[in-house]
Amino acid sequence: MFPDLISIGPFTLHSYGLLVAMGFLAGLFVTVQIGKREGYTSQQIMDMGFLMILGGVIGSRLLYILINLGHYLQHPLDALKIWQGGLVFSGGILGALIAMGWYSYRHSIPLWNLGDLWAPAASIGQGFGRIGCHLAGCCYGKPTDSCLGIVFTHPHSLAPLGIPLHPTQLYSSLSAFTIFAILLFLSLRKTYNGQVFLWFLILHSTARLWIEKYRWDDRGTLSGTSMTVTQLIALCILLAAIITLFVLKSRRRKQGKAPRHSP
C-alpha cells in the first residue's frame, strides 16, 4: 500500500502515524460531545485523553514487544520504532484502563462512568488506526484466493509482497466502526453505569477472536495449541465482561425491586 506518504529530506510522514493521530483526534472530538451531555468540561476531557492515549500506547507497545520478545532482545532499539507499526489493541485497552483508574481515583469519579464516556472513542480510534495498519502493511492476513485478497507491492511495506492476503486490517477497521455506531446508540439509551463500556469489551473481543483466525503475522502461540496470545487475552476479557455485565444487571434488578420506605 502506502507506508510512506511524504518524504522531504530526512523527514518522512508515515501513513500509520498519521492515521493513529486522526483516530485520536476523532475519539477526542466524540468524547467532548458525549462529555458535555454528562457534565464534563472540555479541559477534563483533554486531561483524561492525554493520560489515556499515553497509557494506551505504552500498554499496546509493551504487549507487542512481549509477544515478539526474541526479536526485541536482539534489536532493542526497534522497540522505539512505533511508526513502523506494532501495537496490540488489547494491550492498549489495559494500559488505558490503568490510566483511567488513576484518574478515577485522583478525582473521585466512578470508574464505570469514565469507561462509558471513553468506550465509543476507543472504537472510532481503532477504526482509523487499522486503516493505518493497512497502509503500512502490518497486522496482515493469511494468503487467500478469494476476491477479497489484497496484494502488497511497496518495498517498505511490512507485509509479504506479491501474494494476495486477507485484508485483516480492513476487517478490524470495519468491525471497529460498526462497534462505534452501536456504542454511540447505546450511550444515548443506557440504563446503568458500565453498560456501554462492557458492551465495548464484549463486541471488540468477539470481533478480535474471529479476525485473529485470518491473521498471518507472528502472533505468538500458546504451547501445544494454535491459540495466539492475543486470542487468549481477548477470550479472558470477553468472559470477564459478560460475567460483570450480568452482575451489574442483577444488582440493578434487585435495586429496582427493593421496597421504598416512606419518610
Give CA angle at 80 (78, 84), nearest 5°: 70
Question: How confident is the model at residue 83, as a pLDDT?
Answer: 62
Tens digit of pLDDT for each residue in 156-171? 888 899 999 999 999 9
Question: Which residues, 6 or more positions from 13, have their beta carbon under 8 angstroms from its beta carbon?
Answer: 4, 5, 6, 7
CA distance 98 to 91: 11
Q: Which three cell numbers stand for residue 48?
A: 483524561
Does residue 169 lie in a domain region? Answer: yes
Q: What's the structural domain count of the chain?
A: 2
Q: Are residues 48 and 95 in the same domain?
A: yes
CA gyration radius, the chain: 20
Q: Please state, in angstroms and rounded to a whole number, the distance separating the CA atoms of residues 22 and 125.
A: 8
What is the per-residue pLDDT for 74?
85
Residue-range definition of the domain harbouring residue 229: 219-252
Reported as a single tens digit per residue, the pLDDT across 41-66 is 989 999 998 898 888 888 888 888 88
Are the C-beta atoms of 101 and 111 separated by less than 8 Å?
yes
Are the CB atoms for 49 and 96 separated by under 8 Å? no
The answer on 1 and 42 residing in a single domain is yes
- Helices 42-67 and 89-107 sit at what angle, rounded to 10 degrees? 140
Model confidence at 95: pLDDT above 60 = yes
252: burial class by Cβ within 10 Å (0-12, 13-18, 19+)? Answer: middle
124 and 232 together in one domain: no
